[in-house]
Amino acid sequence: MNEKILGVIFDLDGVIVSTDNCHYLAWKRMADEEGIAFDRTINERLRGVSRMESLAIILEKASRQYSEEEKRAMAARKNGYYVELIASLTPNDILPGAMDTLKLLKQRGIKVAVGSSSRNTPVILKQIGLSEFFDAVADGNAIQNSKPDPEVFLLAAKLLNLNPSNCLVVEDADAGVQAALAGKMRVLGVGSACVNPTATFAAENLEKADFESILNA
């Protein structure tokens, strides 16, 4: 018998808010300036992955080696472009079904948390008006190892005072699905991860997710 779901931990980028395209545009600008080939296919591999690990993936296509100092500068430049883009986010950028899902879970007495690799999580939550909404926020500022390591989700469960076995993760990244399973949590794959065969549940997006049956599974 499965243990009851008492908490749901949401990834942020691509699950709650449509920032995944902002990440793409910011990396694309940086890569174009450096003359490094980068497209949406490579971008899929950056989902859920930390800023420096994302840069390492992009640099696989670079024609020369970059020093650690240059890498830090490139990551900072990308983040500058990204911060410019997210400055115009509003509650309208909350993805379809996300708000209704969050409200339904709260009505049911289920705790809700954010589990994101992003160090920009506090800024984004502020922009979309959800700074005070979640019972816990675990993000890239508080962890050492980013997804597929389970650290961010285990921290979120701990902050919610719940066992991992009582938590469900919602993810759009394969790295995040892997992280949730490594943390012994069930996972709903949405967006790009809805075709991930290892996810416990799948839905195209939160609007299409059947939480009634997920909570009773």
* 54 lines the binding site for ligand BG6 (CB under 6 A): yes
Active site residue 11: yes
In the residue annotation, 13 being an active-site residue is answered as: yes
User: In terms of DSSP H, where are the helices of 108-164?
Assistant: 121-127, 151-159
13 binds Mg ion (CB under 5 A): yes
Cα–Cα dist 147/54, whole Å: 12
**Vertex 55 angle, CA 54 and 56, to 5°:** 90
Q: Measure the CA angle with vertex 142, ends 124 and 28; round to 5°.
A: 50
Nearer to ligand BG6, 6 or 89 (CB): 89
Distance from C-alpha of 191 to C-alpha of 174, rounded to nearest angstrom: 10
Name the residue nearer to ligand BG6 (CB basis): 23 or 186: 23
111 binds, among Mg ion, ligand BG6, none (CB under 5 to 8 A by kind): none
The answer to whether 28 contacts ligand BG6 (rule: CB under 6 A) is no
Task: Using CA atoms of 21, 117, 216, 166 in order, give the dihedral in degrees to the nearest 10.
Answer: 180
Among 16, 23, 130, 185, binds ligand BG6 (CB under 6 A): 23
Give the rounded distance of the alpha carbon of 169 from its chain centre: 10
Packing angle between helix 20-34 and helix 51-58, nearest 10 degrees?
Answer: 50
* 62, 71, 79, 93: which one binds ligand BG6 (CB under 6 A): 79
Choices 78-86, 135-143, 165-173, 199-207; region in contact with Mg ion by CB under 5 A: 165-173
Annotate each residue in 95-134 with x if it binds ligand BG6 (CB under 6 A) or - if it does not, as one string.
Answer: ---------------------xxxxx--------------
Binding residue (CB under 5 A) for Mg ion from 34, 172, 175, 194: 172
Can you tell me which of 173, 177, 179, 190 binds Mg ion, judged by CB under 5 A? Answer: 173
Long-range contacts of 26-29 (CB under 8 A, 24+ apart): 26/78, 26/79, 26/81, 26/82, 26/85, 27/54, 27/58, 27/78, 29/78, 29/81
156-195: which residues touch ligand BG6 (CB under 6 A)?
173
How far, in whole angstroms, is CA 40 from its chain's centroid? 17
7 sits near ligand BG6 (criterion: CB under 6 A): no
Residue nearest Mg ion by beta-carbon distance: 14
Write out the catalytic residue numbers: 11, 13
Using CB under 6 A, list all residues that contact ligand BG6: 12-13, 23, 46-51, 54, 79, 116-120, 140, 173
